A and B are shown apart, each in its own frame.
Chain A
C-alpha cells in the first residue's frame, strides 16, 4: 500500500524559511517522479513543484520559482521542499503526491494527508 507522510509544517514568521519532508513507502520510490501541491485556506489546489525519479530534473510553478527548492533522497525514500522568504501567500496545506506510473511529473493517484504551513508574525 502506498503511503506518503508529510512533515515539517508549522508557524513561521514572514521572511523565514522551512523545509518540508515527505516520507514514502509501498512502492519503488526512485522510479517515480513526485509532486508538491498546496491549498491555501478555503482556496483551490495549486501545483507548486515536481521532481523526476532520479532527482536530475526539477520543475516549479512561476509563482514559487526562485524561492522553493525541491530535492529527494532516494536512499531514504523521501522528497523535500525547501521554502525561502515565506510570505502570507504561502500559508497553505502542502501535499505530497505521487503519479500512477513511472515517468515525468503527472497527475496524481496517491496523496499524503498534508502539512500545514502558517506564515504569521
Chain B
C-alpha cells in the first residue's frame, strides 16, 4: 500500500508568516491528493483537491502544488483562525490513506 508522510508534524509561526507543509507519497499518485483542515474539536474540512484546486469558499491564502510523490500546502499569510491540524489524503484507489497530520500553531 502507498504510505503518505507529512512534515513537519508540528510548527509554530507568527501571524502573517508564509507556512509550508509537505506531503510525500511512497509511490507516484499523479495529482490524486486532497488537503483537509481540522480545527480542535471540529470535523475535517476539505481545503484542496486534485493537489492544487481550491475548494469553494476556502480563502485564497491557501494553495496546493505538486504531482507524483511530492506535494505542498502553503498558507501565504498565516491568520489566527488557521490554527488547526492539516492532513493530506491520497485517492484514486484504495486504501484512501491519510498523512499523519501537521499541527499549526501561532507563535
Contacts and interface: CB of A to CB of B under 8 A. Distances in A.
B18 to A, nearest CB: 24
B94 A62 contact: no
A35 B100 contact: no
A97 B60 CA distance: 25
B91 A114 contact: no
Given A45-B101, A111-B44, A61 B36 contact: no
A107 B99 CA distance: 13
A46 B1 CA distance: 14
B62 interface: no
A50 B99 CA distance: 18
Contacts of B38: 45
A46 B85 CA distance: 14
Contacts of A47: 89, 95-98
Given A62-B1, A107-B34, A107-B46, A44 B98 contact: yes
A10 B77 CA distance: 41
A105 B94 contact: yes
B30 interface: no
Interface string A78-121: 00000000000000000100001000011111011110000000
Contacts, number: 55
Interface of B is mostly: loop
Nearest to B95: A61
B71 to A, nearest CB: 13
Contacts of A46: 98
Interface of B: 1, 34, 36, 38, 43-46, 49, 55, 85, 87, 89, 91, 94-101
20 contacts: A44-B85, A44-B98, A45-B36, A45-B38, A45-B89, A46-B98, A47-B95, A47-B98, A50-B94, A59-B95, A95-B43, A95-B44, A107-B34, A107-B46, A107-B91, A108-B44, A108-B46, A111-B43, A111-B44, A113-B43
Given A44-B87, A105-B94, 13 more contacts: A45-B89, A47-B89, A47-B97, A61-B95, A95-B44, A100-B46, A105-B91, A107-B89, A108-B44, A108-B46, A109-B46, A109-B49, A111-B44
